[in-house]
Amino acid sequence: MPEDPRLEDEEREMDDEGLEELAQVLATPPPRELRARVLAAVQERGQLDRVRRRLTRWRAGGLAAAAAACVMALLYAQQVRIAQQNADTISAMLDGASGVMAHMAAQGREIVERGDALLVHAEIIRILSSPNLKTAPLDPMAGHSGSARVLLDPISGAVALVGVGLPPAKPGEVYELWALRGDAPERAGEFETDPSRKNFALRLRHVRAPSEVTAFAVSLESKRGLAAPQGPIVLMGSIES
């Protein structure tokens, strides 16, 4: 190695000074050919060094390009993976959201239904609270089942129907309540029964001249909007005094 690392600074200074002194004393002209030998060796080594440096630069450039390509590939793969994860997450969220939406829609429907039921019950309570309330118990006709009671506010003509055991109408058929008085029957409203419930409570149309109504009847009709019942009468009863 060119330098002796063991030499301390002071010692090295002494060594340097002494060495220069002694070399000065010993100075001897070298053979002329030694210069050519030394410079040729250095030149040869210099060319090798240049080639080596060039190769190193190329190698370094190649390595840098390869490393950059690897980094880009890794970044791309990472982005693809993140995008895939995001897509999966969004899909899962959408699935969850659609489930939540369906649940909310069902709850909304139930709330609407319960709201309607509450309105019916409120109307029924209002009718029941009438001081002149009139009722008409409806009994099944021969060959039919179920029973019901009509609640009539004789002042406003509001009508409600509560009952039990009336079978659901077949597809295309509908129950119709009729108000009966001396001249002709009046449509008091059509209705269906809920197959999942045994009881039913309905608020129907107002009737004209409620004080003149003497009885009510329920028929099963295959057409809607008839002026008079055409189907079978399933329930019927008079207003109680």
Partner 1 sequence: MSDPALESELVRRVARGDEVALAVLYDRLAPLAYGLALRIAGDKRSAQDAVQEAFLNVWHGAERFVATRGTARAWVLRIVRNSAIDRARSEGAHERARLRAIELGGVSWPAAPERPDLQLVGQESRSALDSALDELPAEQRRLIEIAFFQGLSHTEIATREGIPLGTVKARIRTGIGRLRQIAAQGRIHA
The binder of partner 1 chosen from 27, 142, 184, 227 (CB under 8 A): 27
Is residue 18 near partner 1 by the rule CB under 8 A?
A: yes
Is residue 26 near partner 1 by the rule CB under 8 A?
A: yes
Is residue 51 near partner 1 by the rule CB under 8 A?
A: no
Is residue 54 near partner 1 by the rule CB under 8 A?
A: no
Which residue type, as a one-letter code, is found at position 32? R
Give the nearest distance from C-beta 41 to partner 1 in angstroms.
6
* 212 DSSP assignment: G
Q: How far is Cα 181 from Cα 234, in angstroms, rounded to an integer?
A: 18
Give the nearest distance from C-beta 57 to partner 1 in angstroms.
14
Is residue 48 near partner 1 by the rule CB under 8 A?
A: no
Is residue 56 near partner 1 by the rule CB under 8 A?
A: no
Give the nearest distance from C-beta 60 to partner 1 in angstroms.
18
Is residue 29 near partner 1 by the rule CB under 8 A?
A: yes
Is residue 34 near partner 1 by the rule CB under 8 A?
A: yes
Span near partner 1 by CB under 8 A; candidates 27-35, 136-144, 150-158, 164-172: 27-35
For 17-48, the DSSP string reads HHHHHHHHHH--PPPHHHHHHHHHHHHHHHHH
Nearest residue to 204 via CA among 109, 132, 136, 106: 136
Q: What letters, b where the CB count within 10 A reaches 16 and e where it falls short, cover 215-238?
A: bbbbbbbeeeebeebeeebbbbbe
Is residue 55 near partner 1 by the rule CB under 8 A?
A: no
**Tokens of residue 149, six digits:** 């009671």
Is residue 95 near partner 1 by the rule CB under 8 A?
A: no
Are the C-beta atoms of 203 and 116 separated by less than 8 Å? no
Nearest to partner 1 of 41, 74 (CB atom): 41
Phi, psi dihedrals of residue 138, rounded to the nearest 5°: -105, 125
Binding residues for partner 1, rule: CB under 8 A, are 1-4, 6-7, 9-31, 34-35, 37-39, 41-43, 45-46, 49-50
